[in-house]
Amino acid sequence: MGPSTPHRTTSHSRGAHMPSKKIAFIGLGIMGRPMAANLVKAGHQVTGYNRSRPAVDALVEAGGRAADSVADAVRGAEVVITMLPADPEVTEVVTGEDGVLAHAAEGTLLIDMSTITPQTSLAVQETAAPRGVRTLDAPVSGGEAGAVEGVLSIMVGGDAEDVAEARPVLEALGTTIVHVGPHGAGQTVKAANQLIVASNIQALAEAVVFLERSGVDLASALDVLGGGLAGSTVLNRKRANILNRDFKPGFRIDLHHKDMGIVTDAARAVGAPLPVGALVAQLVASARSNGDGGLDHSALLRGVQRLAGTDEK
Ligand code: NAD
């Protein structure tokens, strides 16, 4: 859909009155692919690049344009969005020899939406600033479903005027967009988010094994738990995974392992104790060691089953 096409009556019409932007989108995985498609729906000109080609072809089918390299994607872009797995990929794609900063025009706004360490976000900002490229760290929460539905929570670190400029673009991706502080603060809040989510899933998984071993009907139990103080977005979003023992990702345990490392490091740096978080980090690591790294993080349930000696269904 081109920028002048008037078909903007979907839930993604929030940014419709805003001028269309030329956006380079790098990293079209589980999250990046639907996010880039939502930007197209909101009327932006989106050029996508991904290490493997099928993801780029999917964006073209959704109305975006294909790029063969980072340089190709970034050429002519006003906004560059990165949605990559972890720190090494962001560092390489942004500051590498043939990366975003080598090709972006002065004045470009770079929005990194990956979950990485606050330190790497700051390093990216320090490398970008002398080249006239403004940066924001804008990691997200809400999972694949949140990305598909365009209802992500987006925690943004950076300068207020850049956040204001980014807001119409981010509104095509999420419904809760909060400027939480200076560069790196978005990643700090995301680290806290990941601590809460992993601890929540672990507690839910322990409750599930306890309920099943007690002979209580799990679906009924989750119904009533969901309506009380134990209810949570985790319970709503992961209920089907748990009931069906369907652990297709979603959010891979490998990525949550990375995030538990980020939050434990960041907390140690400021002297904040995370006793439950440290334990949950070990359980996430154990899930990986048992071969579950590629599964959705709701598969922490499998780890509790192993501890309980329960046959996996
Ligand atoms: P993913 O692995 O599905 O996607 C990452 C994409 O980046 C892949 O398509 C990969 O081919 C591409 N890529 C890797 N290196 C590249 C390079 N050098 N150049 C170009 N492309 C490259 O991961 P995801 O689940 O989409 O997560 C992306 C980020 O968002 C991670 O930091 C993750 O922690 C975070 N996140 C994920 C979720 C979720 O539910 N999946 C939710 C919130 C945040």
Q: For the segment 72-122, what is each residue's pLDDT rounded down to a tens digit?
A: 999 999 999 999 999 999 999 999 999 999 999 999 999 999 999 999 999
Q: Which residues are the active-site residues?
A: 190
Say how far apart CA 207 and CA 128 lie, in whole Å. 47
Q: Please name the residues in contact with 253: beta carbons below 8 A apart, sequence gap of 6 or more.
A: 284, 287, 288, 292, 293, 294, 295, 296, 297, 299, 300
What confidence score (pLDDT) does residue 31 get?
A: 97
Q: Quick check: 13 pLDDT over 80? A: no
Tell the residue nearest (CA) to atom 9 of ligand 1.
29
Distance from the CA of 224 to the center of ligand 1, in angstroms?
Answer: 35
Measured from the Cα of 27, ligand 1's closest atom is 7
What confidence score (pLDDT) does residue 9 get?
A: 34
Say how far apart CA 169 and CA 129 lie, in whole Å. 21
Distance from the CA of 31 to the center of ligand 1, in angstroms?
Answer: 7
Q: Quick check: 176 pLDDT over 50? A: yes
Q: Once rounded to an integer, what is the mean pLDDT over residues 45-65? A: 98
Cβ–Cβ under 8 Å, residues 23 and 51: no
Distance from the CA of 114 to the center of ligand 1, in angstroms?
Answer: 7
Say how far apart CA 305 and CA 299 lie, in whole Å. 10
Q: Once rounded to an integer, what is the mean pLDDT over residues 270-294? A: 98
Cβ–Cβ under 8 Å, residues 144 and 251: yes
What confidence score (pLDDT) does residue 87 get?
A: 97
Pocket of ligand 1 (CB under 6 A): 26-32, 49-52, 55, 83-86, 89, 92-93, 114-115, 140-141, 143-144, 250-251, 255
Q: Quick check: 5 pLDDT over 60? A: no
Report field, pTM of the whole predicted structure over 0.85: yes
Grade residue 282 by pLDDT with cuts at 50, 70 and 90. Answer: very high
Distance from the CA of 255 to the center of ligand 1, in angstroms?
Answer: 9
Q: Once rounded to an integer, what is the mean pLDDT over residues 237-254? A: 97
Say how far apart CA 295 and CA 166 lie, in whole Å. 33
Measured from the Cα of 249, ligand 1's closest atom is 41
